A and B are shown apart, each in its own frame.
Chain A
Amino acid sequence: MPWTLHLALRQLFPRGRRFPAFAGVSILGVGLGVASLLVVQTVMNGFGEEHRLRIRESFGDVVAVGAGAIERPEALALALAGDPAVRSAEPYAEGPALARSGDFSSVAFVRGVRPADPDLPARRYVADGSLDGLDDGRVALGRGLARQLRVGVGDRIEVWAPAMAERAERGRAPLPVELEVCALLRTGFTEVDDRAALVPLRRFRELWGMGERAHGLTLRLRDASGPSAEASAARLEAAHPGVRFRPWTAIKRDFLEAIRFEKTMLFFLMFIITLVASFSIGSSLFSAVIRRSREIGVLAALGASPASVASVFAVQGLLIGGLGTLLGFALTWAVLAGREAILAAINALFGDGDLVGQVYQFGFVPLHYEPWDFALAAAFTLLTTTAAGLVPALWAARRRPTDAMRDA
């Protein structure tokens, strides 16, 4: 071990002292800064990932739509399924309807799907009941919608579709259809859970009077990454004139951009915390350099070069930064592991019980660990704390030994 590192370690962690106050407080400050930065980044990444996943699950990796409804969707689905990039293509139709159960009613966003579709994302979110029984007499509801209607699996609801108004115009009574709830869905995405109702596509067409038409097709790709989806959409659009293919990255693009922007802004805001911690390290090291003036003079008398004297203090900044970063990583893990308890406490303190759900549309705190964020946080922290140590270190190195010893 070089003597400069040995001396730096001894000055930071003096022997025989229970708590090395300067080192302890500095490392804790850096650790808290790094943890704030990474907790925010990881949660924001989680929100972004969850939103992207929900968008892909709701609309597919690529959505195909026409100028109006698609006339022969099954034929188009068959043609698209033959494309090597496409794993499956399923027609869909969707629209709002009024749902009612006794004294309770709500607007439901009904989607017609093929129950036998093996890629149907709703299968992953069944909280109660089963989608296997989804037929013309049944409906699957989002859990929030079911709660609004006060129904559970096995209960019946009435549904009024807008097309029923045409019957009233023709002098016939617009009777609602009665459907039995076969499944409750819980995606954790409030917008879906509070509105979604799934019925077979055949039943939807009947209620909406759509004949064989569909509103569009959802395509699942073999490679659903953003660039691949965009390339496939462009290629398919060229091959199928009259049909527009939108990759998932283009759906709700503004929303995704807003999340990305929010993440970037939060990164800079949180980074200021680390910067403040670094400034306090710089200030503490400056006082240490002044306090240790005599020792700096002695080092020079022993023959230490100015660079060696500087490195004793610069290494202290680096050590504080390195240990603070490691502590920050550990704190990040601890906070994220206990995030649900923290969220419950925040909700209890500031909200009406579902603050995050109201703001971010999720009933939980999603996470996505991004190694790049950790590397960036570590690099920034090491850079700023080393710089914070370097300034007083250079000042110490430039002092003449006699001045240092005289000022002590």
Chain B
Amino acid sequence: MTVNLKKLPDHKYVMPGNAACPGCPETMGMRYLKMAYGDNFVMVIPAGCSSVIQGIWPKNGINAPVLNIVFAAAASAASGMKAAFDMLGKKDVQVVVWAGDGGTGDIGFQALSGAAERDEDIVYICVDNEAYMNTGIQRSSLTPYGAWTTTTWTGKKEHKKNIPLIMIAHGAKYVATATVGYPTDFIEKLQRAAKIRGFKYIHLLAPCPVGWRFDPAKTGEIGQLAVKTGLFPLFEYAEGKFQLSPLSRRYKDPAKRVPITEYLKLQGRFRHLLNKPEEIKKIEEYIDSVWYMIDVLEKAFNPQAEAQKLLRTL
């Protein structure tokens, strides 16, 4: 199931002239969402950048039906909307929550956790730009270690909260990570999620030029570097099976990973870390811990494959 760019119609996937900053990863992500689902989806958007980039009434920058809702109710509003669609007999309509990292990990977490526990048939997309960018770059629980924000101006001292693992622990039917740097991978994951009934969670890494302090032309490049350095492994967990995405599989070997400084030096928010080797070592240790978790998950969710691998070595 590959994406053929030539066959995709030349629609307006996002309306040009919206209020997003130049090089915005969120409008990129919204375009891929429409490429994957066509006209068959409804978006539920809690407060955040995505509710601002729609622009000024009576025009709307997003080419999809949108329900704007408060932070703490995104997943529950989507659950109700899905129930209404079921009553109307429209079973093939996807209800998509498009929330930022604050709306997912901090303020909207109780609604997300509740919807995952009830196994509502919705797609929850966390657009992770790693801080509260809309209100002026404040720290969120998904800001990585060492990153500058306006509330952690000497660098954050805690590591990032791992929401995809929390969603796997909730027993969600589909959990995946994606980045705007690899659009076809994200579109394929969205299409695969549409075929599964139950709670679907996709974590989309969205490098923000304004908050991460880099050149807007490099949005895609930084998304790709996050995967190449091993900091953000792309994986897919579907109905009890865990597997690394093909794009991330080669970075399981630490020798093949791009040095983390390549990723850090492009971003102004990590500028103070570059001449501190002990801080960079801490980020490298974090990457190792991320891959240790991936290894544990692979073994835990594919016991048969592991047993076969053992038999082959004997």
Do A and B originate from a single complex? no
Residues of B within 8 A of A (CB): none
Q: A-side interface residues toward B, CB under 8 Å?
A: none
